[in-house]
Structures are given as structure tokens and as C-alpha cells.
Amino acid sequence: MSLKTNRKQLVMTGVQGGVSPAQMWAPFEVGSQGEVFSWPSTGGITYNVKVGDSVFGWAGEHIEPGVSSTLTHKNRKSEDGYQFHACCGNQARVISGEAKGETGTVIGHHGGVNHLMIDFPDSTLDKLTCDDKFMIRGFGQGLKFIDHDNVFIYNIDPDLLEKMGLKENAEKQIEVPVNVIVPNYAMGSGIGALSVTTGDYDILCHDEAMVKEHGLDKLRFGDFVAVLDHDNNYGRTFRRDAVTIGMVIHSDSPLAGHGPGMMTIMSACDRKLKPVLNDKANMGNYLKVGRYA
């Protein structure tokens, strides 16, 4: 059965941002195993880390694929608005510099640093500078299923949602393709936050046995994943029989309480959402961006 949405009632809003500076958090950091490291982290233009790549194995932590962008880096409320309006799958257009007129695709937003990540083809990345600006057609917030008021949708372009192949089964559940199903106890930094329309929260991957048991080693940038017993309807909390669907937006981290970041896409209680394993459940595959271009 096809799922009807209210996409005709959604508001499309133009928002503009620029390249966020690459940041250095500390001369050295200490991981959960006591390891000391000095690695690249958030911000800047990342040339060789893309949607579809593994989130593991990089000599970096909290790495953001593609171009990291912000509005001003000064006004927190404005930064929240920039992240809020720009949804995964929205079009981003370069409006300055040598790459002016070329287009990319919004990946998602990263909390704490308030970054919005954008995928661009290599030919565009090569022309971009850290002074360039982007115009984004923000479209997707307020999206809902007409016949499923108890399912909450956030941060996704309606066109991308339609490409995911969602189905309603005989039990009136919505079946959602995901690459990985995450157990409830494996979520860390970001729990308790109200900001499901901005930011993300982290999947903990420091326990090797748990990672292997649940196939978390398969996580890629852009993957759709499910978290069991997590309710993101009005914030992030544990609730038995709730399911949250998210999308992976930053890399693993050795820091305690941190790991691959997941942006909220959908949430419902009482088993209204049913995750179905599918290794093709990645935004890059649906939109033909990143490693899937």
C-alpha cells in the first residue's frame, strides 16, 4: 500500500551558509582505552571521505563527509535555523567563486559544532574555497504521513523519503529498509536532547563483541539505521517498543560516550515502525551521490 504524505502543504525556505573552518579541539585527546591521539576532526572541506564510505578506520574522529558548513558560527539561534530548514536530500547551490552555479546535496546536520554537511562531486570540490557560499532550498520539516499521525518524520526531503521504498504491512506497521539495527543500550552522546530537528546522537562502538554481534561494523556514511526502544518523537529517550530511524552523518570516535553520529529521520512508539535489513539502505544509493555517483 502506498503511503500518502502532506508534501503539498510543506514550506520551502531558502537558507544560506558558508564553509565552516576546520577545527582543532586540543593538542592531544584521550580515548576510552587511554590512548592518546592528535587527529583531524570536524569542519572544512573533506575531499576523500564520502557518503557510502565506512565510518571506521580513519585517522580522524567525528569526521564529516563532504563540505561542512555553518551560517555565521556566532549566533546560535541562527545556526539552529540553518540546520533546521535544511533537510537530508535538499539541493544546495554554490553562489560564489569558481564553482558558482554548481549543485550538491545536503547530507545532514551535526550537533555540538552546529555543522551542516553537503555532498558535492569531486569536480566541484576541487573548485571550492573556504570563502564560498551555498544557497539551500530547505524543504521537509513538517512532513507527515496522512494516515499515520503517530509516526513522526524529521529532517528529510520528501523526494528522498519516497525513494526509500517504505511499505505498510498487514499489521499497519510501516516497514523501513535499514542497513543496521542498533540495540537500545548502544546509544551515547546526545541522549536527553530535545533537538531532534537539529544535531545528532552517537552510536557507541567501543565494545568489539557488541559491534560484531549486531553488525555495527557495516556502518557507512549515509546509512539508514534503526535504534530499538528509542523514542525521538519529542526528544531522545528510552521507551520500550519504540523505534527510531536515523541516518549516519559522521565517523566513529575513540572518545568515551561517542561514536558514529546518527541524525533522526523517523520515530514512533508501540512498534508502529518495523525495520527491515537491506544493505542498499543508504541515501547515496537512493540519490546517486557520494560513492554511488
| Total-model pTM | 0.96
Give pLDDT, residue 117: 98
130 and 162 share one domain:
no
Asked whether residue 1 carries a pLDDT value surpassing 90, the answer given is no
Give the rounded distance of the alpha carbon of 84 from its chain centre: 12
Strands (DSSP E) found in 80-208: 91-94, 103-110, 115-119, 133-138, 151-153, 167-168, 174-178, 180-182, 201-202
Establish if 2 belongs to a structural domain: no
Q: Give residue-wise pLDDT tens across range 122-143.
A: 999 999 999 999 999 999 999 9
87, 110, 138 - which closes a domain:
138
Task: Please give the average per-residue pLDDT across 86-90, as a whole number.
Answer: 98
Give pLDDT, residue 261: 97
d(CA 76, CA 82): 10
Establish if 4 belongs to a structural domain: no
Asked whether residue 242 carries a pLDDT value surpassing 50, the answer given is yes
Give pLDDT, residue 49: 98
Q: What percent of the chain has pLDDT over 90?
A: 92
Give pLDDT, residue 193: 86
Establish if 40 belongs to a structural domain: yes
138, 161, 190 - which closes a domain:
138
Task: Please give the average per-residue pLDDT across 272-292, as a whole number.
Answer: 98
Q: Which of 7-21, 23-37, 91-105, 200-214 has the lowest mean pLDDT?
A: 23-37
174 and 216 share one domain:
yes
Question: CB neighbours (10 Å) of residue 287?
Answer: 21
Tell me the residue range of the domain where 250 lies: 151-292
Q: Which amino acid is at 22?
A: A
Give pLDDT, residue 195: 86
Establish if 1 belongs to a structural domain: no
Q: Give residue-wise pLDDT tens across range 164-219.
A: 999 999 999 999 999 999 999 999 999 988 889 999 999 999 999 999 999 999 99
